Structures are given as structure tokens and as C-alpha cells.
Structure 1
Amino acid sequence: MLKERARLVSGGLRAVDMAMLGVAFPIAYGLRDEYLTGQGHLYPIASYWPLFAATLLVWQLSSRVSGLYGRYRTFSILTELRRLLRAFVVLALIVAAAQFVWKRPERELSRLFFGLYYGVSFALLAGNRITLRLVARAARRRGFNTRTFAVVGTSDMAKGIIQTIAGHPEWGYVFAGYVLEDGEPAPGGARVLGRLDELGQVLEREVLDEVVIGARSARLDRIEEAVRLCEEQGVGVKVLLDFFPNSTSRIAVEELEGLPVLSFATAPTEVAPLAAKRVFDLAVSLTALVLLAPLFLGIALAVKLDSPGPVFFRQRRVGLNGREFWMWKFRSMCVGAEAMLPALAALNETGGPTFKATGDPRVTRVGRWLRRTSLDEFPQFWNVVKGEMSVVGPRPPIPSEVKEYQRWQRRRLSVRPGLTCTWQVSGRSEVDFDRWMELDLHYIDHWSLWHDLSIVLRTIPAVLFGRGAR
């Protein structure tokens, strides 16, 4: 019921937003053509229809990536406006890039109109959302559009849910009272609707929209019966999962051929943001490979002239969920460097299975410059194109390092490895191994497209100034 209602509201908001994008189009055209310029006029409005069509199309992606049409009751207005702004930033960047690629010199669209259109659109959509929030809040204060719920059990999690909802009256939920489990004492000062074995009568007697069950692993048989009773009377049910109180996984309920499945995942699983990440990876990597081709040729010549051996160095690395692949770099060490590693083990400064040493004698003259500028890593853009790596992600380890990982450290393999990550912008070789692992796990637990973008922007000065490079 709640899910269907949320879908209805989400669909309504999407339809209104599309209408607002349509209304903003002639408004921006009129402002630009009549009021903001004293000379010259825009092309006929029909010339701008491709821009409008592209906007409506790209809006579906940008709003999905920003999570704009998610839960509507429990969003704060500031959170919703931030997501709305993110959606418009993504929209403007994609459409501007497309306009730059496919522009026609004989008919260049007005940049002022472009900016006005998205500015007016954002103002209309933001104003609409604020108005809807104010109207909904006023209605809920008067008892309209509210949902009444009861809670089964008095566990700490059940009480926490009640306190959380009580702190957000704008959500429109009203607490009706407790349904106590057998032998459970009544909490002081709270209304008790009955006992769990009386749930059928409670549902007949009380006006309830939902029942929240504070689940306990020892009461699964009673929970099943309670859910069945609620289903019979058309009352929605939410089950609080306290079976795994210390779990760090994201929990989701899925359906497999009609069978309910409870899934746990620590790595990101959202399809749209991950698809956008892949598009970003391809765009950045292909652009880098094309634009930097002359630089690559110069580096290849320098490597070849500096020391005997191949231009490129390839090495087996461990990627997503333990998949091995060949990672490419410009060669920065002398031939046979890997065979020399055991003799240099005493120089290791990372305190873990990885090897980092100041003044590593295996590094060539050109190699030191390549490492300081991180140019030796640039061939890995090809690994990104192939899908073995990403632009942002934990650095891929070698198989021998993975064998020495502690069990908790293996979780860094749950995402695709990358060219840069938090470690690169936090001092690189100056960060010890344990801290390195913690940074990677923090990245996985808090991943978002915006986090990736911030890491890319922070990587640029880190590379230019060679912070922590060896």
C-alpha cells in the first residue's frame, strides 16, 4: 500500500515537473528576447525545440541519478532542494556538452537563453515543491493526510522508531499505541491496544493504517501469524529487523519469481548511479586517451631512451570480487624489478603487504619523474575502457598482497578498482597500510557520484604537486 502510494506521488511529481519544464521554456524565451537585450533577437522559438526535447530526455537520467523521486514523506525540504539542484547541474552539464559537440556554426544557440531556461526551470520546480510541502504540512496539522500506526513489542528498536517519528510531525504519522508480546510489561505512560494474541481483535477495533512489528529472532512464528492477520484485514505491515544489529550491510527486500528475499550488500548496488558512473568512466578515459596521445608518444620515447626494456609494464592485479586482470603502466623501473623485491623487503615503509620505499633503487631516472607526476599510471585509462577498472576506486592490489589481507580488508575488493581514490588525495605513500585500508572501506560505505567527482577534483592538485608520490 505504502509503496503503491509512494509510486503514485512520485509519478505525479514527475508529471508536474515535466509540465514545469515546458512552462519555463516560453518564459525564458520571452525574457531573453524581449526584456534582457536591447538589440538583436533570438532565432524563432522552433529552432530551440531540440534543446527542449533533449532536456526532457536527459531529465529522466539526471533526476534518477540524484534520487529526486524517492521517499517523499521523510525527505526534509532542504534535502529535496539539494537533490533538485544536483539534478539540474547534471542536466545542464550533459546538455551543454551535447550542444558543444553537435553545434552548427551558422546557427549557434544563445548561451543566455540556455542559462535562463534552466534558471527559470529550477525556480519553478523549487517553488512548486515548497508550496506542496507547506500545503501538506498544514493539512497534516489539521488531521488530514495522516497515517495511524501501532507498534508490536517494546524493544529498543521499536521505541527508537516511535521517538524518531515523533520528532518529525511533518511526516504525518500518528502513534496509536503498543501491542504487547506475551509476558511483556506495559511501558509507563503509553497507550496499550492489547496483546499479540489479541491482534485480530485489535485490528477490528482500532483504526490503523500500519502495524510496525519489533521483530525478535526467537518469535518468528508469532511474527508470521501477525503479518497474516494484518494482510487479511488490509493493514500495512513493517517488520523491524534486529536480527543483525551490528550489520554494516545495506538491507533490501527483493522478489525472486514471487519469493521474498532479504538481501545484504556492503557495496553500492543502485543501477542508475552505477550506470552513470560507467558513462563517466568511458567519457573521461576515451577523452584522455585521444587528447593525451601526443604526450604518450613522448613518454614512450623517453622511457625507451632512458633504459633498456619495453615501454609498457604489465602486471597481474586483483579487481572486482577477486577477478584478476592485466594492469598497464609506463615502465618506471629497470627490467627484472619484481625479482629484486625480496632483497629490498627491509626498505618497506607501508607496514603491510604492499611495498613502498623512498629512493627505491629499481626506479629509473625517467621513472622517478613519471611517478612524481603519476604519468606512469595513464595507460590504465585503457583498463577503464575495458571495464576492468574505474576512474575512481580503491587501487588494485597484486595477488600476493591479497593473500596476506586480513579478512576485513578483503571487502575493498567488493567494488571495481580505480585510478584514484581517497588514498591518493590523502598523502599516498605517506599513509600507512592500515589507514589506507580504512580510507578505502570508508569510500565504499559512503560512495556517491558526487563523492567520486570531489575525489577527481582533489586528485588534480595532488598530481600536479606530487604530494606523497614516490
Structure 2
Amino acid sequence: MPFPFLARLSGLSNVTAVSGLGGIPANPVRSATRQIGPAKLNQQQALNIPAALKRRLAWFAVSSLLILADIVAYMASYSLLLPYLSGTSDSVPSERIFALAALAVIGLNMLTGLYPGYRLHEQEHLRRRVTVFTKITLLSTVGTVLLPDGLGAVSSVILFLFLGLFFQPVLHRAARRLCRRLEIWGERAVILGDAGQVSRLMMHFTDRWQYGIQPEASLADAVAFSSDRPAIALVAGGVDAAIADLPALRRKFDEVILLCDTPDLKVSGLQPADAGGEIGIRLARSSGLATPQFARRVRDLAIAMPALLILTPFILVAAAVIYAIDPGPVFFRQAREGLSGKPLRILKLRTMYQDAEKRLETLLRTNPAIRVEWETSFKLKKDPRILPFIGHILRSSSFDELPQLANVISGEMAIVGPRPFPEYHLRAMDGKFREKRRSIAPGLTGLWQVSARSDADIKLQQQLDEFYIDNRSLWFDWHILIRTIPAVCRRNGAY
């Protein structure tokens, strides 16, 4: 489904606009959609529990499990910190102070809608958590003024909360999966639209179950629901027709959401606009201030400089192995397109034979199947050009890209951004998109790398890059950075 925006309708003139659910394009996957059949309906009706009460109980159970996950995260954080605290001075805060700090964070998380946190992108979860952490940190610094020897105590509390930030996403993910297994995760929704739209949306929301939309019925099934009908109606397709039927829909459902296909509309920056009772969506534009760009540059240097220093010995070992297998230059520079279309020569460890281009030309000329595979993604799953042993290891782990940390330090690249493609790859993309791509610096990792890597075709690569450019933010960058580590470890689509 193209990038949708959603208009949440609480009445004829009360409109709230929120960003798209699962709007990031994803690699298509096969999934079985789940619908409610007569047996399940009879089972639910036999319990004779009002639908509203069941929704509240499920909401309470999910929120409780997520809060418990946060408590466990802070217990793990305290356990890690305890050996350090036991060896410090008497200025160490008591357990009660740590407990109060954790409860303050959990309370603010509740106020910001993180329990249960339905319909929020992962980067929005991250943004809200870091915002809460920052607020508590600022409040804690008051202790350095009000308390004697408060600096040591406050620094311990801040470190305690900071460690919790790393445990919370992992435990929250486990809690969500448990809730899904218990069939209490998410809000049930009926999808109104034609058969094709219903099928596509059923798959879309089932694949993205973590956003908390349970597409359990289509328009044909809606009649079967009496008091147990879903609370939410998702209306696809003709918005005008849906607005005409809005009074009837509002009587049947607690919430009506209009799904509109807007492939050229960015998802972030959408805000509700009340234009004299008319439904309006306002698209906010970036202020153009240099502060975010400066913050990105500081972040890039803070990551790239120590990383290159630490990884240099390992890069040299890999270079020695490459030379032993195929004597010759162990590094190579390749021309790519950089910011504003300026030529960029990226630095990589050599993972192919020195005559790789000749081998590729021969292969494409003699093997039609290989040519089709190459023209689809400009990658080959079984590439005879790759050096044995070391070549596959370096490429599957993306270790061959790490010398580009030098490009990041020089300012030619960023840590996060669209990957710099060679010219033959860019020629397969349309000119309008290429101009958009030139507007930001290419990156060492990006949305494409953490979503599909080499499994994505040209169209999906373009969609992922375009989505990132249109929705670029510091929070989105950190979200991609966090996802990069598991993406590299899984090695899906890396060859």
C-alpha cells in the first residue's frame, strides 16, 4: 500500500490527523490474514462480556505487561550498576531514590501514550522515551544544588536511567509478542472497501501487527457483529462516500479512520487543520535551521572517529587475508554520486577478483538468467567474482564498507542516509528521484539496508530511500542506527 495518512474522525467537525500506520515500505511477505469465523463469534458471545469492557480489560492487561517490562528493565539496570555503586563513596543514593526515578519515568511514559503505544512508529517510541529521559535528567540535576554531595548521587541515577533505555526496547518487544500470543494485543478493526482494497489492507496491517491494528473483518462480515463489533472502522478508497455515510458509521463504531492513498505525500509533519468545520490536513515544513544538520555532523564525528580507531587493526587483518588470496591492491575507490551531485570516491575493502568487471561482462553475455537477476537489483546471489572465504564474510557482514568511516570523517558522507550507488544503478531510477537523492549526503547505513538489503528490487529501493528523505529526522536516524546491528547480524539479503 502506498504511504497512507489517516484522519481520525471523532465527529463531523472534530478531526485529528496522525501519521501513517506502518507507512515505511516493506519487503513483501506472505502472511495469513486472520478473520473471525462463526465459531469464534459464538465463543465470544457465550462469555457474555460487554465489548467495551473487554476492550478495557485488554488495554489494562497490555499496559500492565508493558509497565512490568519497564520495571524489569530498571531492575536489570540496577543490577548492572550495583557493583560500581558498592565501591563508591557514601554519596551513593539509596534504593528508594532509584525506585522513585524509575517510577517517575514510568509515569511520564504513561502520560505520553507509551502504554500500550498503539499506532506509533518505532522511531516515535524512541523519541518519546528519550524525551522522558531528558526531562527526568534535567529534574535530577536540581539535586546537585539542593543536596550535599549531590553530583555523585545524580550521576548514578542518570546512568541508571540511561542503561534502562537499552533494556526497555528489547523487553517491550518481548512483551508485545507475549500479548499477541495471548490474543490481547491491538485494537480490532473492520475494513470497509472493495475486495481488492480489503485484501491488501488485511495483509498490510497483519504484517505490521506491532502497530496494534487487528483487521478481523471486511464489510461483508460487519453485519455479523452486534454488540461485539470492532470499535474501529478503517475506510479505504472513496473518502467522499465515507463522509456522506459518516453519521451512520459513527453510530456503529467508536472511531472511524479514513485511509487515503497519497503516494507523493510525506508522512511526517502532518497536523490537523480546522478550517471552519471543514476537514483539513496541514503539511508542516522544516524550518530550515542549521541546528539539526550541525547535530548530525557532531553525531557522525562522535561515532566515526572512535569507531575507525578501534576497527583499524581488524581492517588491516582483513586486508592481509585479501592480499594472500589475490595479490594486489586491498582497497579500492569507486566513483559514486554525492551531495548536490558532486563526485564521491568511496573507500572499500576489495572483496572481488581484480578482473571482476571482465568476469561480469562474460557472465551477462553468456547467461540470460543471470542477466535478468542482475537487471532486477544489480546483485547476484551466487557471484563468481567474489573472493573465496574472505570475500563472502566481508560482504555478508558489511565489513568491507567500514573504510568509508574515513569518508564520513571527511564530510563527504554521513552515518545515516541513502547509500551512494554507482552510475549504472542510478540510471535505472527516474530523474526526479535522483534530484531528490542529491539533496542530502549519502550514508554508511540507511533505511534500505535495515529493511531489505539486496533482496529489494529497484522500485522498492527507490521507495525506501524516498520515504527516508521525506521523513528525515534525528529520531529516524537513531532508529535506523539501532536497527542496523540486528540487520547485520541476521545477514538477510547480504551477498
* TM bin (shorter chain): 0.3 to 0.5
TM-score, normalization by structure 1: 0.46
Structure possessing the higher relative contact order (Cα contacts under 8 Å, 6 or more residues apart):
2
TM-score, normalization by structure 2: 0.44
Q: Which protein shows a greater Rg?
A: 1
